[in-house]
Amino acid sequence: MGVSPVVEDGRFPAKALPGESIRVGATVFREGHDALGVTAVLYDPQGTEAERVPMVLTTPGTDRYEAWLTPTSEGAWTFAVEGWGDLYETWRHAAEIKVGVGQDVELMMAEGVVLFDRAAAEPGRPDSDVELFRSASRALGNQELPAEHRLEAGTSAEVLAAVAERPLRDLVTESRRYPLKVERTAAGRGSWYEFFPRSEGAVLDPETGTWTSGNFRTASERLEAVAGMGFDVVYLPPIHPIGRAHRKGPNNTLVAGPQDPGSPWAIGAPEGGHDTIHPDLGTFEDFDGFVARAADLGLEVALDLALQASPDHPWVTAHPEWFTTRADGSIAYAENPPKKYQDIYPINFDNDPEGLSLEVLRIVELWISHGVKIFRVDNPHTKPLWFWEWLIGTVNAKHPEVVFLAEAFTRPAMMQGLARVGFQQSYSYFTWRNTKKEIEEYLHEVSHETSAVYRPNFFVNTPDILTEYLQFGGPAAFRIRAVLAATGSPLWGVYSGYELFEHVARQGAEEYVDNEKYQFRPRDFAGAEERGESLAPYLTRLNEIRRRHASLGDLQNLTVQSTSDDALVAYTKTKTVRHGGSAYKDTIIVVVNVDPHATREGTVWLDLESLNLDDADFNEDGSFWVDDLLSGHSWKWGTHNYVRLDPHHDPAHVLHIRRNVK
> Which residues are part of the catalytic machinery?
378, 407
Burial class of residue 506 (count of CB atoms within 10 Å of its CB; 0-12, 13-18, 19+): middle
**Cα–Cα distances in angstroms (integers) from residue 321 to residues 318, 347, 355, 445, in the given order:** 9, 9, 10, 41
CA-CA distance, 645 to 450, in Å (whole number)?
Answer: 31
C-alpha closest to that of 501 among 545, 542, 543, 460: 460
518 is in an annotated binding site: yes
d(CA 252, CA 47): 55
Report the SS3 class of residue 558.
strand
Dist. CA 614–CA 662, nearest whole Å: 11
- Is 356 exposed, middle or buried, given 0-12, 13-18 or 19+ CB atoms closer than 10 A? buried
Q: Is 517 annotated as a binding residue?
A: yes
Residue 591 CA to residue 594 CA, distance in Å, equals 9
Specify whether the backbone of 481 is left (phi greater than 0), alpha (psi in -120 to 50) or beta.
Answer: alpha
d(C-alpha 265, C-alpha 518), whole Å: 10
Q: Is 586 known to sit in a ligand binding site?
A: no
Separation CA 541–CA 228 (nearest Å): 11
Phi and psi torsions of 582, nearest 5°: -110, 165
Q: How many CB atoms lie within 10 A of CB 210?
A: 11
Q: CB of 571 within 8 A of CB of 559?
A: yes
Say how far apart CA 125 and CA 133 lie, in whole Å.
Answer: 10
Which of these, 285, 379, 360, 280, lies nearest to 322 by C-alpha position?
Answer: 360
Cα separation, 54 vs 480, in Å, equals 39
Q: Which long-range contacts (CB under 8 A, 24 or more apart) does 633-640 make?
A: 634/658, 637/589, 637/606, 638/606, 638/608, 639/605, 639/606, 639/608, 640/603, 640/604, 640/605
- Minimal CA–CA distance to 266: which of 298, 289, 243? 243
78 in Cβ contact with 10 (< 8 Å): no
Could you give the 3-state DSSP secondary structure of residue 52?
A: strand
Angle formed at CA 175 by CA 172 and CA 176, multiple of 5 degrees: 130
Consult the annotation and say whether 469 binds a ligand: no
In 168-237, alpha helices (H): 216-228
The answer to whether 226 and 186 are in contact (CB under 8 A) is: no
Pairing of strands 75-86, 64-69: unpaired
Helices (H), ranges, 121-237: 127-141, 147-154, 157-165, 216-228
Taking the C-alpha atoms of residue 656 and residue 435, their distance in angstroms, rounded to an integer, is: 25
Alpha carbons 491 and 495: distance in angstroms, whole number: 14
50, 114, 180, 187 from 77: Cα distances, Å = 10, 39, 5, 16
- What are the binding residues? 248, 308, 343, 379, 517-518
- What are the binding residues for alpha-maltose 1-phosphate? 248, 308, 343, 379, 517-518
